[in-house]
Structure 1
Amino acid sequence: MARTRPRTRRTAIGLGLAVTLSTLLAGVPASPAAAAVVFADGFENPVINNDFTTFVEGDQLGPWSVTSGTVDLTRDWQHAEGNQSLDLNGYSPGAVARTLSTRPLTTYRVSYALAGNPDSGPIVATGQVTVNGHTVDSFSFDTTGQTPSDMGYVRRTFYFTNVLSPSTTLRFASTTANAHGPVIDDVRVESCLLVLCPAGARTTNRLP
């Protein structure tokens, strides 16, 4: 059936509005007026009373679910925020996920503090962040020269644009195959208008 020009244009836009995901190096802040906090967590819940507590797949870790392997909630070293942080390797590589309510046609900025477990000497800890199953950030952290009192946290940031989904699952996973892996803290999710996000500072990838 023939389609009018306006309908064709809307169809093309609809097909082109796949979820947009992008990775951004630290150091390019958005305007404070451009963002509204959707979620912020520094792994302060539950409060632990020892150096670290191990959580296994299926456990709930505050607002996060452990989706694979094991993770350690720890108070045993410097934290980027608060009194606790999360080692994504317990006695095996692990992952945690959180499902958020999201609005259609809205861009979100996700940032987090990254370091590595310094207790085994120099390692390169690696991992990935996914949004709805799509990899949006592959990270690594070299612990050379870092100590429990000076972890050397860096802040990483990426953006994604939600098209139609009412919810989005954010997942952090270790890809380090030993008991000492990446450490994350101070995870923040903020919504911002597309025109106010620093588009020139990131590479955009369209997903199927």
Structure 2
Amino acid sequence: MATKRPRTHRTAIGVALAVGLSALLTALTASPAAAATVFADGFETPVIGGDFQEFAAGQQFGPWTVTTGTVGLTRDWQAAEGEQSLDLNGFSPGAVARTLPTTLLTTYRVSYALAGNPDNGPLVVTGKVTANGHTVDTFSFDTAGHTPSAMGYVYRTVYFTNVLSATTVLQFASTTAGAFGPVIDDVRVESCLLVICSAGTAGAVRVA
């Protein structure tokens, strides 16, 4: 006479599946800041002694390398967060880059605060963001009506999808001639895990 198989084995499998499903749902619904931050920087390092410190191509400050021209850390005006921000035009148009660890076939969200040097009267300043040399954002900011104590920062958000590389070079560059250009602050990079970031990933630029 055949005996019935104990139900404890099936019960254990069911419990394990339920626990696994619960953990997956928790991961999918976690906030991006808690679950997926890759990099965040507000240009607070190094702390500069005066109102402005210029850095030229090849120099490093904090986690950034100046790749072209000159840029300047400044405390000369309102920051989006903290005490310092980055002027992408030192005494000439400049660019800064940071190498990030990235996962293949993963989309990333980049957010940053944008304003413009207000010291040269009304001026539209422009620049771009690239990932591994691919342009993922072009931006402009009108400094009209803004002052050092009321910079008028706006937050921009862009996406890129890493296809093949284990690292991605994220670069911010000014495309404005002269010594008065874009100002950036509060840069943040987050990986998009399935439903996280889904609202904007359709327009993500694919980078190798």
Does TM, normalized by the shorter one, top 0.5?
Answer: yes
2:159 touches 2:200 (CA, 8 Å); kept in 1? no
How many Å separate the matches in 2 of 1:205 and 1:102?
15
1:90 corresponds to which residue? Answer: 90
> Structure 1 residue 140 and structure 2 residue 125: aligned?
no
How many Å separate the matches in 1 of 2:131 and 2:159?
10
Residue ranges of structure 2 left out of the alignment (5+ in a row): 1-28
How many Å separate the matches in 2 of 1:97 and 1:150?
27
2:161 corresponds to which residue? Answer: 161
1:41 touches 1:187 (CA, 8 Å); kept in 2? yes
How many Å separate the matches in 2 of 1:32 and 1:148?
37
Residue ranges of structure 1 left out of the alignment (5+ in a row): 1-30
2:150 corresponds to which residue? Answer: 150
- Which stretch of the first structure deviates more once superposed, 114-123 or 186-195? 186-195
- Which stretch of the first structure deviates more once superposed, 102-111 or 118-127? 102-111
User: SS at the partner of 2:169?
Assistant: strand
How many Å separate the matches in 2 of 1:195 and 1:46?
36
Number of aligned residue pairs: give it. 178
2:31 corresponds to which residue? Answer: 33
Deviation at 1:205, TM superposition (A): 4.7
How many Å separate the matches in 2 of 1:142 and 1:162?
32
How many Å separate the matches in 2 of 1:200 and 1:112?
15
Deviation string, structure 1 residues 76-118 (Cα, Å, up to 9, x no partner): 1000011100000011000000001111121111000000000
2:187 corresponds to which residue? Answer: 187
2:9 corresponds to which residue? Answer: none
User: SS at the partner of 1:196?
Assistant: coil
> Structure 1 residue 62 and structure 2 residue 67: aligned?
no
2:76 corresponds to which residue? Answer: 76
How many Å separate the matches in 2 of 1:206 and 1:107?
9
1:85 touches 1:183 (CA, 8 Å); kept in 2? yes
Q: Alpha carbons of 1:205 and 1:40: their partners in 2 closer, same or farther (altered >3 Å)?
A: closer
The code of the aligned residue for 2:166 comes to P
Deviation at 1:188, TM superposition (A): 0.2
Deviation at 1:63, TM superposition (A): 0.3
Deviation at 1:194, TM superposition (A): 3.8
Deviation string, structure 1 residues 137-172 (Cα, Å, up to 9, x no partner): 000000000000000000000111112311000000
Deviation string, structure 1 residues 14-51 (Cα, Å, up to 9, x no partner): xxxxxxxxxxxxxxxxx762451110000001110101
- Which stretch of the first structure deviates more once superposed, 85-94 or 189-198? 189-198
The code of the aligned residue for 2:57 comes to E
**Which 4+ residue blocks in structure 1 deviate beyond 6 angstroms?**
none
How many Å separate the matches in 1 of 2:130 and 2:62?
19
Q: Alpha carbons of 1:204 and 1:60: their partners in 2 closer, same or farther (altered >3 Å)?
A: closer
Q: Alpha carbons of 1:109 and 1:206: their partners in 2 closer, same or farther (altered >3 Å)?
A: closer
2:161 touches 2:204 (CA, 8 Å); kept in 1? no
Residue identity over aligned pairs, in percent, reads 72
TM-score by length of 2: 0.81
User: SS at the partner of 2:40?
Assistant: strand
Deviation at 1:204, TM superposition (A): 4.4
TM-score by length of 1: 0.81
Q: Alpha carbons of 1:134 and 1:61: their partners in 2 closer, same or farther (altered >3 Å)?
A: same
